[in-house]
Structure 1
Amino acid sequence: MSNIEELLPHLCEDDRANFMKAVDAIGKAFAARTSIEADPQLIANLPQVREHVLTGGEIVLDLSAALDALAGDPSISNQLIAAEVKAAEVSKIKEDTANMSRAAKMNYARERGLDRPRDDVASTMTINEHAAVLAGLSPVQRMVYARRHGLV
């Protein structure tokens, strides 16, 4: 079975527009449902898109089947699992700290390493750039900034 994108140059303008609308609709719906951006190339190769485009829109785009097929792709299912694990971790932390005092929450965070900068938001600033920012802050703000950016 050939790739739908290989056939697009041979189809009419309406079919190409249908293709773009279908890929866009599936991408937006998947992102809204899962908060994961799917590769448009992966979406373009779904059988639901192929059927919809090649019939000139006569077969209605089966959005739910397309989303299920997309979620079944190994690269995306791994991302979905990672997102579920992260959500469970956040839920557990919120549950554990719900009735704690500020001091107890801080101890909880320190014990579990939650008071350090996360790897996914690590700063790309150099120490000299941090020093320039610190120079313009009050002493209390300096301490907060230094803690937030892992400088102390």
Structure 2
Amino acid sequence: MSDINDLLPHLSDEDRANFIKAVSGVGDAFESQTTIVVDPEKIANLPAVREHVLSGAAIALDLEAAIASLKADPSISAKLIAAEIVKTQHDTIRKETAGMSRQAKMTYARERGLDRPRSDVSSEKMTLSEHLAVLQSLSPTNRIAYARRHGIS
């Protein structure tokens, strides 16, 4: 099966517009269901998208089949599993801390290492002097939050 991108130059403008609309529609639907953004190249060659575009939109775009195909892709299923693990961890933390006081929540966080900088926001590219320059421009409350987030406190 050839790459659909090789066929696009030989299709009409209407077919190319259908292709763009189908790829973005599948991507948006998948993201809204799973919160994971998928590379449009993976979406472009899905059977449901190919059938829709190559039929001149005579065959309706089957979003369910396209989403199922994306979920079956090994790289995407790994991301789905990782996202589910994170969601489960967050739900557990919310449930365990629901009735706690602020002090008890801080103790809970410290005991579990949740008071450390998160890997998704820590910046190893910035030097301490650059962080201090940012801190000078913030209000006192925001300074504390920034310093904690970046492990400066």
Asked if these proteins are the same fold (TM beyond 0.5), I'd say yes
- CA–CA separation in structure 2 for the residues paired with 1:22 and 1:16: 10
Partner of 1:75, secondary structure, is helix
Partner of 2:29, secondary structure, is helix
Alignment of 1:2-151 (within 5 A): 2-123=2-123, 124-135=125-136, 145-151=146-152
Deviation by residue 1:47-66 (Cα, 9 ceiling, x = unmatched):
01111111101000001111
- Deviation of 1:74 after TM superposition, in Å, equals 0.6
Gaps of 5+ in 2: none
- Deviation of 1:130 after TM superposition, in Å, equals 2.4
Which stretch of structure 1 is more off in the superposition, 3-12 or 142-151?
Answer: 142-151
* Shift in alpha-carbon separation, 1:129–1:15, aligned structure 2, 3 A: same
- CA–CA separation in structure 1 for the residues paired with 2:40 and 2:4: 12
Deviation by residue 1:16-73 (Cα, 9 ceiling, x = unmatched):
1111111011011111111110110000010011111111010000011111111111
Q: AA paired with 2:81? A: I
- CA–CA separation in structure 2 for the residues paired with 1:85 and 1:12: 44
* Shift in alpha-carbon separation, 1:99–1:68, aligned structure 2, 3 A: same
What is the TM-score with the length of structure 1 in the denominator? 0.91
Q: AA paired with 2:148? A: R
Gaps of 5+ in 1: none
- CA–CA separation in structure 2 for the residues paired with 1:42 and 1:53: 15
* Shift in alpha-carbon separation, 1:64–1:134, aligned structure 2, 3 A: closer
- Contact 2:135–2:146 at 8 Å: present in 1 too? yes
Q: How many residues align?
A: 152
What is the TM-score with the length of structure 2 in the denominator? 0.90
The alignment-based identity, stated in percent, is 61
